[in-house]
Amino acid sequence: MKTMLVEALGSVEDLTLVEMESPALIDGHIRIEILACGLNYVDALMIEGKYQIKPPVPYRPGSEVVGRVTEVASDVTRVKVGDRVFAPVGNGGFSNEAVVAESRVLALPDNITDGQGATFMQSYLTAWFAFNYRASIVEGDTMLVLGAGGGVGLAGVDLAVSMGVKVIAAASTEEKRQLALSRGAFAAIDVSTEDVKARARELADGRLDLVYDPVGGDLAAQCLRALAPGGQYMVVGFVAGIPQLPANHVLLTNRTVVGVDWGAWMLRNQADNAKMLVEVMGEMAKGKLHPVEPVTYPMSQAAQALKDMQNRKIAGKVALVPDFDGV
């Protein structure tokens, strides 16, 4: 088996391609040939040792994959050789194969490509958790989505629209804004040239109910102030830095600031998370959710893909595709 290994936390440049013995196939498990592995911002943070969860090294990154079943244990009954499955592997996805418990995999709907299937989980489950477990969302609400051209933002746009929410997409490039509009946003704001607070209020007719923020940074305080009285601000991430939110603008207008940490919640609520994963996959199978087709990189270029993602050079999602035969 060929795989990418992190021997010490610190730099994505230090990812090393190694050959390891293939894992043994034990009872209740299947072996899959990995077809695509999702790449997420958190992967870079973990490799650099900047995430709140620091994996013991050496470790193999990559948490969500799509693969073709190549072997099954004798007691496996739900999947068979040849099936195409989604597998939340936890780690080790930057590889050409994996051994996974049968109970963890889901058959991939025919209308979902390998790339879409390998890149939806973190983004869509974060949005699903935010909208169904953390915030109070009503059909007809108006929501501002920051970072709307990135993976987490796009999933937020797509899911909110499916729930009958009117979405304003905020992003830094025309390509990213067009992606968000293609997922149902009714308007877009250029965060590099426009006054986001004023424009959001204008587009929402003075009634901005929700902000979904996976970006943080300097825009956060502006967008909090854009909310109508009683509005809700979802804090999802800090790719632009941890924001300073003015507490007086929470108190004096009865606004609510809600933390959304799907990853930590998932670790403590694995049964509920498994149910949520099935629900999201079901909505995808019915065509109600529309994961974006990702940009793909050869897996041997994982470090470059991670750097491009960190530098916001990519609109949408990123998937790695095994190419180790020529490496």
- The string over 253-288, giving b where at least 16 C-beta atoms fall within 10 Å of a residue's C-beta and e elsewhere, is eebebeebbbbebbeeeeeebeebbeebbebbeeee
CA of 277: how far to CAs of 88, 181, 218, 272, 319, in Å? 10, 25, 33, 9, 19
Average pLDDT over the chain, rounded to whole? Answer: 94
Q: Where are the alpha helices (DSSP H) in 99-203?
A: 114-119, 121-129, 151-162, 174-182, 196-203
Residue-wise pLDDT tens digits, 255-280:
999 999 998 999 999 999 999 999 99
CATH superfamily of the 2-120+292-326 domain: Medium-chain alcohol dehydrogenases, catalytic domain (3.90.180.10)
Q: Report pLDDT for 326.
A: 46
Nearest CA among 234, 237, 232 for reference residue 256 = 232
Residue-wise pLDDT tens digits, 29-40:
999 999 999 998
Q: Report pLDDT for 327.
A: 44
Q: Report pLDDT for 316.
A: 87
Confidence of residue 51 (pLDDT cuts 50, 70, 90): confident
Q: Where are the alpha helices (DSSP H) in 130-218?
A: 151-162, 174-182, 196-203
Confidence of residue 325 (pLDDT cuts 50, 70, 90): low
Helix/strand/coil for 220: helix
Cα–Cα distance, 94 to 37 (Å, whole number): 7
Domain 122-263, CATH: 3.40.50.720
Q: Is the pLDDT of residue 297 over 50?
A: yes
Q: Give the bridge partners for 297, in sequence order.
A: 320
User: Mean pLDDT, to the nearest integer, of 125-143?
Assistant: 97
Q: Report pLDDT for 315.
A: 86
Residue-wise pLDDT tens digits, 82-98:
999 999 998 999 999 99
Cα–Cα distance, 248 to 236 (Å, whole number): 21
Residue spans of the domains in the chain: they are: 2-120+292-326, 122-263
User: Mean pLDDT, to the nearest integer, of 162-188?
Assistant: 96
User: Mean pLDDT, to the nearest integer, of 150-154?
Assistant: 93
